[in-house]
Amino acid sequence: MVSQEVAIGVRGVSHQFGEMGEQRFVRALLDTSLAVSRGELLCLIGPSGCGKSTLLNVIGGLTQPSAGSVEVLGKPVRGPSPHDIAFVFQENALFPWNTVIENIELGMTFQGVPKSQRAGRAKEALAAVGLAEFAAHYPAQLSGGMRQRAALARALSLETPILLMDEPFGALDEQTRMILGEDLSVLLAKSGKTIVFVTHSLGEAVFLADRVAVFSARPGTIKEIIAVDEPHPRRPDFVTSEKFAVLRNRLYGLLHDEIRKAVLQAGAASAPVPSGPL
Amino acid sequence: MKHASPSLWTALVGSLARRPGLARLLVIVALFVVWEIAARWFVDPLFLSPPSKVIASLGALFTTRGIPAALGLTLYELAVAFVIAVAIGLALGLAIGLQPFVRASVFPIVLLLYGMPQVTILPLFILSFGIGAASKIAFGVTHGVFPVVMTVVAGVQNLKPILMTSARSMGASRWQMFRHVIFPHMVPSFFAGMRLGMSGVLLGVLLAELYVSIAGIGYFTTLFTQNFEPAKLLGLVGTLAAMAIFLNALVRRAETRFGRWRTG
Amino acid sequence: MAPRTRDAWLSRLVQVAFLAGVILLWYVATTRWGVNRLLLPNPVAVFGDLVEILRTGAYVDDLMTTLGELAAAFSIAVAGGLTTGYLISRSAYLTKVFEPLFAGIYAIPIILFLPLFVLFFGLGPASKIAIGATISFFPITLSTIAGFSGVDRLYVTAARSMGASDAHLFRFVLLPAALPVILTGLRMGFTVALLSIIGSETLASLGGLGHRIVTLAESMEMAPMFAYIVFVIAIASVLNAIVSTLEARGRWDR
């Protein structure tokens, strides 16, 4: 259930990498503002390089923005807040030298969960994502989809009110994505967490989100926010409904030009930077 | 930098921060300074000489009878051993890499010998090949040939089958495939192998030279050690080290110029 | 049989056949073809001497000297190398300054400096330990730097996002991530320490296995010399095999 309370408040955030005149100078975000309500699933979608991952890192306290501020649960963000926010990254964030269950227990060790509680919570989290039989496996022994389930289990075991997911299904094939998306929707309907989810996929955004924030090409700013008025858990037949198609087409319309712009930017970026008087 | 007027100190630190190579040079200079100070005032001059004294006695060193000849001979042995090691290594490596039969029969033997501590048989080498240049060259070759073989084999094996397939689909003959696909593909590995081979040859030849103390540099290192002449000993060892660094740099240069097509 | 194990089996077979062939050739050469006994002793005599040496324990003093030097040299190199490598890896700048320096020094045969060590420390074990430790230091340091530098930044980011402290980070992320590369460096350091010590014993020493072989060579006692060569090769193989197994045990990435 989406409440009125604001869980995440982003005010006028801008971020750039490097200094003006340097080769690597890039304006990732420009004056972005956003309010995420408690219990809401908000998707960030946009062309490559538009700063959506940067915004996620700023919200999560992994990056200090060049300008602007972020408040999470009423507190200003100054660094990682492991008790409030858990991350799920695109891939390879599971430690390959530990088994799945060791990975999950280690996350809780970092957060500060007492030793006696770790094993129980880890097993619960694995059961929730359907990986109970794979607890003693190493990540290398699992498929990509299973690895991401394990990463999700690790985030869930931390029992944070907020989940930040950076293209978690980006490295997976479409069929796996579909299944995982459906499972995620069911899981999250039960937990009531606040989620910010970055994706490239139009269908995934419409299927999962309560609202979709569409980004422009670099320097990224929020072009428009579309609401998806459909209760959670989303049923698989939502995908074939007309409502879905209308929303998806709207997204396509908003994004298409921005994507073209981003491709041109990427081409220009690999050209040599003209040097100044120095 | 938009500061009004940077002090000398911040300017210095700034330029050092941007140039690790410069910092490295300073580290080396600092080491020499420490050596100078330690050798002059803290260590018995029988055991260590400061760099200033070493450089001063270089003249006396090079005019000592037999030294220039010994150095020249060593250089000659290094060159010959390197050429032979590379030639044998390349031929053997190609044979092993390209012919499955050779790979199955010869490669295990190569691996067996590669793992052997060759220094154990150094006295035997000298007894068998004599105290002349031949034994030094032979010992250098046995040290240098293995890295060349291993890298050439790896270079040939790393060839993606898709490249061979597409060449064959365009009608390439076996010779053409070798000359235009396999050989160029293997060249970077070959040059890397040559670099390692040079290190091996340096080790083998110098080990043999130091062992045989009848003539050659081994004689002089023993002489200077027994007579407690650290300045001359350091000078000789330093010259040999410089020779080694120079030869390594030479091969590395060749590798950069001719051996790289991958990074464009 | 799976292709890979069959290949390994075939490899071993070829190696054994090769050794057997060489020994056979050696036997025939000395008994039938009359190769000079002063150059190549009879393998039967060599075997006999080897058994005698093992039985009487004549090798013990030399073996203890060599192994003692090896243990000391390697311990020093490990302690110094791991520490130096870790400290340097913490700074990208220091890595850029020192890594090429160490790599460049390691590329030349450091055994060249043995006469300097002998001048300073004498002909006893101290000079062998010194040069063994010096040479062994480099592969250990270089691989420690590479190991820690090569840790995927994402692991660090993920750990920090979950609240990991610096101690947590080192113990649970950096160390296990870097371990495979470091173990390889330790193995290489061990091999190179062993070679350097035997080598320096061969060049300038009063004791140890390398020195023993030289003494026998100088007095042209071919059969015992060959016996000792076989002995040293065997010891070296066993030690290297042990170290390789230990390395393989610790590598989670294989």
The Cα–Cα gap between B193 and B147 comes to: 6
The residue of chain B nearest to residue C218, with distances taken between CA atoms, is B123
Asked if residues C145 and C81 have their Cβ atoms less than 8 Å apart, the reply is no
Instruction: Tell me what the mean pLDDT of segment A64-69 comes to.
Output: 91
Euclidean distance between CA atoms C215 and C225, whole angstroms? 9
Please answer yes or no on whether B128 and C39 come within 8 Å at the CB atom.
Answer: yes
Tell whether B53 is covered by a domain: no
Q: Within a domain: residue B181?
A: yes
SS3 assignment, position A131: coil
Amino acid at A203: G
Beta strands A6-17; A26-37: pairing state: antiparallel
Q: Give tens-digit pLDDT for A234-246.
A: 888 898 999 999 9
Q: Report pLDDT for B250.
A: 92
What pLDDT does B255 receive? 86
- The answer to whether C163 contacts A112, with C-beta atoms less than 8 Å apart, is yes
Euclidean distance between CA atoms A205 and A212, whole angstroms: 7
For residue C172, give how far its alpha carbon lies from the nearest alpha carbon of chain B (Å).
31
Give me the pLDDT at residue A278, please: 39
Closest CA to B203 of C66, C196, C73: C196
Read off the amino acid at residue C84. T
Any C CB within 8 A of A86 CB:
yes
Short-list B90, B96, B198, B212, CA closest to B141: B198
Chain A contacts of C177, Cβ < 8 Å? 95, 97
Q: For all residues of chain C together, what is the average pLDDT?
A: 92
Is the pLDDT at A275 greater than 70? The verdict is no
Residue B141 lies in a domain: yes
Q: The whole model's pTM is what?
A: 0.87
B210: chain C residues, CB-CB within 8 Å: 111-112, 114-115, 203
pLDDT digits 0-9 by tens, A145-181: 999 999 999 999 999 999 999 999 988 888 888 889 9
- Is B50 part of any domain? no
Hey, what domains does chain A have and what are their CATH numbers?
1-76+162-167+193-221+244-278 (3.40.50.300)
What is the model's pLDDT at position A262? 81
Asked if residue A120 has pLDDT above 50, the reply is yes
pLDDT: which is higher, B172 or C170: C170
Cβ of A83 within 8 Å of Cβ of C173? The answer is no
| The pLDDT value given to residue C115 | 94
Judged by a CB distance cut-off of 8 A, whether residue B22 touches chain C is no
> Can you list the alpha helix ranges (DSSP code H) found in chain B?
8-18, 20-37, 51-56, 58-63, 67-98, 100-114, 122-129, 133-157, 161-169, 174-177, 183-211, 217-226, 230-258
Residues of chain A with C-beta less than 8 angstroms from the C-beta of C165: 110
pLDDT at A272: 53
List subunits contacting chain A, requiring 3 or more Cβ pairs under 8 Å: C
CATH of the domain at B238: 1.10.3720.10
Start-to-end CA distance of chain A, whole Å, equals 58
Q: State the pLDDT at residue B264.
A: 39
Is B49 inside a domain boundary? no
**Shortest CA distance to B61 belongs to which of B217, B212, B215, B202?**
B217
Q: Residue A13 pLDDT > 80, yes or no? A: yes
Give the total number of structural domains in chain B: 2
**Span C78-113, pLDDT tens digits:** 999 999 999 999 999 999 999 999 999 999 999 999
Residues B2 and B126 placed together within one structural domain of the fold: no
Query: What's the pLDDT at C1?
Result: 54
Question: Residue B167: its pLDDT value, please?
Answer: 84
Cα–Cα distance, C162 to A158 (Å, whole number): 8
Stretches in chain B below the pLDDT threshold 50: 1, 263-264
Beta carbons within 8 Å of A180's beta carbon, 6+ residues apart = A145, A148, A149, A169, A172
B230-258 vs C92-107: helix crossing angle, rounded to 10: 110
- At residue B5, the pLDDT reads 60
Separation of alpha carbons B256 and A26, rounded Å: 33
Residue B197, in any domain of the structure: yes
Lowest mean pLDDT among A134-143, A200-209, C23-32: C23-32
Distance between CA C117 and CA A128 in Å, rounded? Answer: 65
Q: pLDDT digit string (tens) for B34-53? A: 999 999 988 888 899 999 99
Those residues with Cβ within 8 angstroms of residue A73's Cβ, 6 or more apart along the chain or in another chain: A7, A84, A161, A162
Beta-carbon separation of C162 and A112 below 8 A: no
Distance of alpha carbon A132 from alpha carbon A160, whole angstroms: 21
C87 is written with which tokens? 């400290």
- B-interface mutation test, from C7, C119, C196, most B Cβ less than 10 A away: C119
Residues 6+ apart with CB under 8 A from A165: A87, A88, A195, A196, A197, A198
Whether residues B36 and B79 fall in one domain = no
How far apart CA A103 and CA A122 sit, in angstroms, is: 9
Q: Are residues B13 and B106 in the same domain?
A: no
Q: What mean pLDDT is predicted for residues A44-72? A: 90
Q: In what order do the strands lie in the sheet with A26-37?
A: A26-37, A6-17, A67-72, A75-76
Residue B51 forms part of a structural domain? no
Hey, which chains touch B, using 3+ CB pairs under 8 Å?
Answer: C
Q: Mean of the per-residue pLDDT values for chain A?
A: 88
**Residue B174 burial (C-beta neighbours within 10 Å; 0-12, 13-18, 19+):** exposed
Show the CA angle centred on residue C45, arms to residues C40 and C48, nearest 5°. 145
- B66 and B13 in a common domain: no
For residue A158, which of A66, A262, A53, A82 has the smallest C-alpha distance? A82
Domain boundaries, position B11: 1-42
Per mean pLDDT, which range of A32-46, A128-142, C1-15, C126-140 is the poorest? C1-15
Mean pLDDT, residues A217-227 taken together: 88
Q: Per CATH, the architecture of C55-250 is what?
A: Orthogonal Bundle (1.10)
Instruction: Indicate whether B232 and B181 sit together in one domain.
Output: yes
Q: Check CB contact of A89 with chain C, cutoff 8 Å.
A: yes
Among A112, A150, A63, A87, CA closest to C167: A112
pLDDT band at A270 (very low <50, low <70, confident <90, very high): low
Measured from the Cβ of residue A93, the count of other Cβ atoms closer than 10 Å reads 24
Share of chain C above pLDDT 90, in %: 78
pLDDT band at A28 (very low <50, low <70, confident <90, very high): confident
The answer to whether residue B179 sits within a structural domain is yes
Asked if B32 and B69 sit in the same domain, the reply is: no
Residues B108, C15: C-beta atoms closer than 8 Å: yes
> Is B90 in the same domain as B122?
yes
Does an H or E element contain C133, and which? Answer: helix C125-149
How does residue A49 score in pLDDT terms, banded at 50, 70 and 90?
confident
CB contact (8 A) between residue B119 and residue C98: no
Phi then psi for residue A36, to 5 deg, are: -110, 125
More confident residue, B26 or A258: B26
The chains found to touch C (3+ Cβ pairs under 8 angstroms) are A, B
Contacts of B104 in chain C (CB under 8 A): 10, 14
* Cβ-nearest to A96 among C161, C172, C253: C253
Query: What is the complex's ipTM, to 2 decimals?
Result: 0.88
- Do B85 and B171 share a domain, yes or no? yes
Q: Is C91's Cβ below 8 Å from some Cβ in B?
A: no
| Per-residue confidence (pLDDT) for residue B4, from 0 to 100 | 53
Are B248 and B196 found together in one domain? Answer: yes
What pLDDT is stored for residue A247 in this prediction?
93
User: What's the Cα-to-Cα distance from B73 to each of B138, B197, B217, C101, C115, rounded to whole Å?
Assistant: 14, 20, 9, 29, 20
Here the tokens at position B161 are 């089958």
Please state, in angstroms and as integers, the Cα–Cα distance from residue A94 to each residue in A188, A197, C72, C170, following that order. 21, 19, 39, 16
pLDDT for res B180: 83
What is chain B's length? 264
State the Cα–Cα distance between residues C66 and C60, nearest whole angstrom: 10
pLDDT score for B11:
81
